[in-house]
């Protein structure tokens, strides 16, 4: 029986929020490096599915399966496996199933998996060989989740002005000219990790996760930030529907290359994501949507190993920008 680790799935983080402001300046140009594509046998299936149900319901992409659809799939750049709701698998009569142990942030459960043929995303058609089946209620009533197995060589674009999410072919160097900040990242198990980052002066590895509502730190980061203001506990529900609580603290400043975000709320958990990526012994942070949405646009380009940020409004590079009222813009 296979073991599928899906750590922060559907992490509905309920905890205190804080005002945020950001200072941004233009970084030096970076050179693209083609990623190494992991073979199927090398990849450990790690799924981090997290969303705020009402706020991010519209941020889906259309997918067709076996010529039927379109179906609403959320995009999770922190997930290595694509997931289907059990209802959708039944509707499509995907009856060839096997058992697997599904490891969530708070629980382990035996679930069914299935092969998904004729999976179409835009112009791409592929076969998903092992897709875990979960209850739709545990993934925000979406039809499924797009994981990294379907995003190789793609660009994920979060447009917070247009309130939409897009998955397109990587545009290469020419496509990054319209963005204000371009940050290089390293690839590990298909995920992009930013090393040029710090939080309150502590060097930190950052995983950009479009599936996480809030930001989650590992225990080593919690130890280093132990003197920061504690805000209470955050409550997170994993993909199996089991809830877990974690300490939450307020960090004064997060710096990612040239971008600076103040007043960052961080919850802490011993997520299997950190273990799978080898991010246990040094401070690491899963950067969630609560911080990403402070920008107008964020693009994660897997082919060039870059994360691209677009400044809010007409703010010029180097100018401070306050987000006290803009932070909840997706509800507009």
pLDDT digits (tens, 9 = 90+) for 232-274: 888 777 777 777 778 999 999 999 988 888 999 999 988 777 8
Confidence band of 171 (pLDDT split at 50, 70, 90): low
Close Cβ partners of 1 (under 8 Å, ≥ 6 residues apart)? 99, 100, 101, 110
Q: Is the dihedral of CA 158, 159, 163, 168 positive or negative?
A: negative
93: exposed, middle or buried (Cβ count in 10 Å: 0-12, 13-18, 19+)? exposed
Q: Given this model, what pLDDT does residue 313 score?
A: 62
Q: Given this model, what pLDDT does residue 4 score?
A: 59
188: exposed, middle or buried (Cβ count in 10 Å: 0-12, 13-18, 19+)? middle
Q: Given this model, what pLDDT does residue 105 score?
A: 63
Is pLDDT of 46 > 70?
no
Give the mean pLDDT of 146-155.
85
Among 11-15, 23-27, 29-33, 84-88, name the most confident range: 84-88
Q: Given this model, what pLDDT does residue 322 score?
A: 32
Is pLDDT of 157 > 60?
yes
The DSSP result for 229-283, as a single string, is: EEEEEEEEE-TTS-EEEEEEEEEEEEEETTEEEEEEEEEE---HHHHHTT-SSS-
Closest CA to 161 of 296, 28, 252, 55: 296
Distance separating alpha carbons of residues 204 and 200, to the nearest angstrom: 10
Distance separating alpha carbons of residues 48 and 64, to the nearest angstrom: 23
Distance separating alpha carbons of residues 300 and 176, to the nearest angstrom: 11
Among 37-46, 102-111, 207-216, name the most confident range: 207-216
- Given a contact cutoff of 8 angstroms between Cβ atoms, the answer to whether 222 and 206 are in contact is no
Alpha carbon 306 to its chain's center = 15
Distance separating alpha carbons of residues 178 and 218, to the nearest angstrom: 34
pLDDT tens digits along 19-30: 455 544 333 333
Confidence band of 327 (pLDDT split at 50, 70, 90): very low
Confidence band of 56 (pLDDT split at 50, 70, 90): very low
Closest CA to 142 of 77, 183, 84, 98: 84
Q: Given this model, what pLDDT does residue 224 score?
A: 96
Q: Residue 219: in which H helix or E strand, if any?
A: helix 219-224
Q: Given this model, what pLDDT does residue 156 score?
A: 86
pLDDT tens digits along 86-133: 999 999 999 999 988 766 666 778 889 999 999 998 888 999 998 999
3-state secondary structure of 55: coil
Q: Given this model, what pLDDT does residue 311 score?
A: 77
Alpha carbon 24 to its chain's center = 22
**Integer-rounded Cα radius of gyration of the chain:** 19
Give the mean pLDDT of 37-45.
35
Q: Given this model, what pLDDT does residue 87 score?
A: 96
Quote the tokens at residue 232.
């209470």
Q: Given this model, what pLDDT does residue 198 score?
A: 95
Is pLDDT of 57 > 50?
no
Close Cβ partners of 282 (under 8 Å, ≥ 6 residues apart)? 203, 205, 220
Confidence band of 9 (pLDDT split at 50, 70, 90): very low
Least confident of 122-131, 166-175, 198-207, 223-232: 166-175
The CA distances from residue 314 to 69, 233, 311, 318, in Å, are 39, 36, 7, 12
- Given a contact cutoff of 8 angstroms between Cβ atoms, the answer to whether 312 and 295 are in contact is yes
pLDDT tens digits along 308-320: 988 776 544 444 3
Close Cβ partners of 14 (under 8 Å, ≥ 6 residues apart)? 234, 235
3-state secondary structure of 96: coil
Is pLDDT of 329 > 80?
no
């Amino acid at each position: 029986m296979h073991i599928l680790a899906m750590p922060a799935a559907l992490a509905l983080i309920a905890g205190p929020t804080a005002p945020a402001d950001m200072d941004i300046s233009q970084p030096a140009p970076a050179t693209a490096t083609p990623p190494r594509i992991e073979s199927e046998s090398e990849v450990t299936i790690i799924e981090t599915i997290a969303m705020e149900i009402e706020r991010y319901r519209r941020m889906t992409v259309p997918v067709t399966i076996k010529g039927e659809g379109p179906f609403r799939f959320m995009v999770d750049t922190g997930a290595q496996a694509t997931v289907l709701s059990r209802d959708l698998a039944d509707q499509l009569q995907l009856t060839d199933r096997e058992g697997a142990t599904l490891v969530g942030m708070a629980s382990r459960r035996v679930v069914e998996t299935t092969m998904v043929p004729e999976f179409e995303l835009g112009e791409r058609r592929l076969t998903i060989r092992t897709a875990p089946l979960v209850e739709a209620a545990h993934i925000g009533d979406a039809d499924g989740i797009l994981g990294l197995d379907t995003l190789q060589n793609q660009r994920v674009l979060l447009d917070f002005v247009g309130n939409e999410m897009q998955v397109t072919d990587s545009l290469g160097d020419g496509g990054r000219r319209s963005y204000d900040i371009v940050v290089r990242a390293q690839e590990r198990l298909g995920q992009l990790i930013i090393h040029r980052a710090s939080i309150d002066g502590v060097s930190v590895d950052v995983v950009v996760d479009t599936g996480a509502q809030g930001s989650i730190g590992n225990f080593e980061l919690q130890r280093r930030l132990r003197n920061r203001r504690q805000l209470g506990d955050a409550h997170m529900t994993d993909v199996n529907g089991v809830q877990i609580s974690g300490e939450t603290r307020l960090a004064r400043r997060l710096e990612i290359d040239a971008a600076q975000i103040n007043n960052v709320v961080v919850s802490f958990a011993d997520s299997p994501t950190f273990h799978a990526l080898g991010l246990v012994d040094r401070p690491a942070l899963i950067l969630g949507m609560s911080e990403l949405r402070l920008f107008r646009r964020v693009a994660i380009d897997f082919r060039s190993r870059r994360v691209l940020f677009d400044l809010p409004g007409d703010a010029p590079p180097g100018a401070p920008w306050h987000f006290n009222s803009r932070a909840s813009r997706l509800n507009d």
